[in-house]
């Protein structure tokens, strides 16, 4: 494993305590530098973002090659469209808006304290720790970095050990753009990640599974480090019985099949009216065939990230079949798939019982559960009986029904008549709720997550505060009598 920057080679036998000491030394250096150099101006922040943009764009093809190497195969266009482009957009959006975000926000003062005034001043927290995942290893590293830079912070990044080639390119990009005391990258295995989570950052953002999120939060609690957790869960799709499947299913297929379903906001299951279930299955087959006429050697269809996750997904399907559940593999070219390719065709699992692993775990692969519902009420109940999801997708043109679903369900985010694309809106915050996460980033909310919004009260030269100090007399008695009337 390596620790970069500074680029110091370390073997897998390096004691965890030594690795932690090295990371802690880097963190302390960055915190000390932040204090010495003070709060960066808007111009300095913009210049930092420009440096990162130029370095990122100059290495975009290397990133696509590295991501494909890490996955076994990953679509070049998916990497450019879903990883690189959102990273660029996030950096440009932060650059465009940070001067506005930095302005103090005036707040009203209770009349009894006037002519004093009050405002909120955003201030950089210091050093932000970012633990990024493997599924979108570029965007989920650079997206948080964009917000943290806009807020005037320094950053330490720990990329996933499951995408080592991509992590090395990211480290190269950040070394080109920044000095070691501005942005630092830590590369290593899960033990390094655990030590990283236990560092006394000024804020820590983690993107990954709910189970690991619990461990990260526990490690951060030792330092009372505030955390933003971007987790996942089982994101539902509800299709109204009055909504044409010809409009819903293409979005459902792309949402499920992009990155072979390895997306934290990918549809996990779909709720469809009983009388439309068979039509949905037919339409799903047709739309997969249209988008992916073949799968085995299709450059547009990605592989599963590694053997462990491939075996996990296959085990879900084996368990479902063993229990007599209908499993429909959508394989338009009737191809055979080698274990080495780690490609799994889009697969439907029809009305699985609740005690199956696939019914409880976040799937994170090209498997879609299909449930039948009797009424919109039963569909809403199905969602609400389960942990709160990161995303919810509802297809309906009836405004009353849309308002009802928005009102009666709680999720991290929602798309109406579409899947996935709420996350691509740079002016919308992104975050989970309950088991799917806590806190937000993206947009102004990301800037605020990585800032201390400091409340400030300014007293006027002429003020009446002497009336509020002892010794108390008739004046304050009358004033309190007036203020405390019902």
d(CA 371, CA 273) in angstroms, rounded, equals 8
Residue 485 is predicted with a pLDDT of: 86
Does residue 264 carry a catalytic annotation? yes
- Average pLDDT score over the chain: 94
Confidence band (pLDDT; 50, 70, 90) for 1? very low
Per-residue CA distances from 353 to 70, 83, 224 (Å):
34, 35, 41
Global pTM reads: 0.92
273-311 pLDDT, tens per residue?
Answer: 999 999 999 999 999 999 999 999 999 999 999 999 999
CA separation for the pair 411, 390 (Å, rounded):
6
Our CA angle for 342, 345, 350, nearest 5°, is 130
* Selected catalytic residue, list 230, 257, 362, 415: 230
pLDDT beyond 70 at 7? no
Question: Residues 217-264: pLDDT tens digits?
Answer: 999 999 999 999 999 899 999 999 999 999 999 999 999 999 999 999
The answer to whether the bond into 378 is cis (omega within 30° of 0) is: no
Residues 6 and 156: beta-carbon distance below 8 Å = no
From CA 28, how far away is CA 34, in angstroms rounded? 10
Helices and strands (H and E) in the chain: how many: 17, 18
Domain boundaries of the chain, sorted by first residue: 2-231+439-454, 240-431
CA 373 to centroid of chain Cα atoms: 30
Q: What is the secondary structure of 285-296 as a DSSP string?
A: HHHHHHH-S--T
- Contact (Cβ atoms closer than 8 angstroms) between residue 313 and residue 361: no
Q: Is-catalytic flag, 408?
A: no
| Integer Cα distance of 168 and 157 in angstroms | 12
Give the class (CATH, top level) of 2-231+439-454. Answer: alpha beta
Other Cβ atoms within 10 Å of 386 Cβ, number: 17
Identify the architecture of domain 240-431 in CATH.
3-Layer(aba) Sandwich (3.40)
Q: Calculate the alpha carbon distances from 344 to 46, 79, 291, 338, 349 in Å.
A: 43, 19, 15, 9, 14
pLDDT at 13: 54
Of residues 264, 362, 415, 448, which has the active-site annotation? 264
Beta-carbon contacts of residue 481 (< 8 Å; ≥ 6 apart):
none
**Residues 207 and 232 sit within 8 Å (Cβ to Cβ):** no
- What digits encode the pLDDT tens for the residues 111-155? 888 899 999 999 999 999 999 999 999 999 999 999 999 999 999
């Amino acid at each position: 494993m390596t620790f970069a920057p500074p680029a110091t080679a370390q073997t897998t036998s390096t004691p965890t305590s030594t690795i932690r000491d090295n990371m802690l030394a880097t963190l302390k250096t960055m915190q000390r530098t932040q204090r010495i150099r003070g709060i960066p101006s808007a111009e300095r922040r913009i210049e930092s973002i420009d440096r990162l943009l130029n370095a990122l764009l100059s290495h975009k093809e290397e990133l696509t090659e590295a991501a494909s190497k890490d996955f076994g195969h990953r679509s070049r266009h998916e990497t450019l469209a879903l990883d690189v482009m959102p990273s660029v957009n996030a950096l440009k959006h932060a650059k465009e808006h940070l001067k506005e975000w930095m302005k103090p926000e005036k707040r009203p003062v209770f009349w009894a304290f006037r002519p004093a005034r009050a405002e909120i001043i955003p201030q950089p927290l210091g050093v932000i720790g970012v633990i990024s995942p493997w599924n979108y290893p570029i965007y989920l590293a650079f997206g948080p970095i964009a917000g943290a830079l806009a807020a005037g912070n320094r950053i330490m990044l720990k990329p996933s050990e499951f995408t080592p080639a991509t992590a090395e390119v990211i480290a190269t990009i950040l070394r080109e753009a920044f000095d070691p005391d501005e942005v630092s990258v830590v590369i290593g295995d899960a033990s390094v990640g655990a030590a990283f989570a236990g560092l006394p950052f000024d804020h820590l953002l983690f993107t990954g599974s709910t189970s690991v999120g619990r461990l990260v939060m526990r490690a951060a609690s030792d330092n009372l480090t505030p955390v933003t957790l971007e987790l996942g869960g089982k994101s539902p799709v509800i299709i109204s019985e009055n909504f044409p499947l010809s409009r819903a299913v293409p979005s459902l297929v792309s949402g499920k099949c992009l990155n072979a379903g390895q997306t934290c906001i990918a549809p996990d299951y779909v709720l469809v009216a009983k009388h439309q279930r068979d039509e949905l299955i037919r339409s799903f087959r047709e739309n997969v065939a249209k988008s992916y006429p073949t799968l085995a050697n299709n450059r547009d269809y990605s592989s599963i990230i590694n053997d462990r996750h491939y075996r996990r997904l296959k085990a879900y399907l084996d368990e479902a079949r063993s229990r007599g559940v209908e499993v429909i593999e959508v394989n338009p070219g009737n191809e055979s798939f080698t274990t080495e390719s780690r490609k799994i065709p889009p697969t439907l699992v029809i009305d699985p019982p609740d005690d199956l692993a696939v019914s409880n775990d976040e799937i994170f692969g090209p498997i879609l559960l299909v449930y039948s519902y009797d009424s919109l009420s039963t569909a809403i109940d199905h969602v609400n009986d389960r942990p709160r999801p990161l995303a919810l997708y509802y297809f309906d043109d009836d405004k009353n029904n849309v308002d009802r679903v928005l009102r009666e369900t709680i999720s991290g985010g929602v798309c109406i008549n579409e899947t996935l694309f709420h996350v691509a809106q740079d002016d919308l915050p992104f975050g989970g709720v309950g088991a799917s996460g806590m806190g937000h980033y993206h947009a102004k909310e990301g800037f605020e997550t990585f800032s201390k919004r400091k409340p400030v009260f300014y007293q006027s030269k002429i003020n009446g505060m002497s009336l509020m100090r002892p010794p108390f007399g008739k004046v304050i008695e009358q004033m309190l009598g007036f203020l405390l009337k019902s």
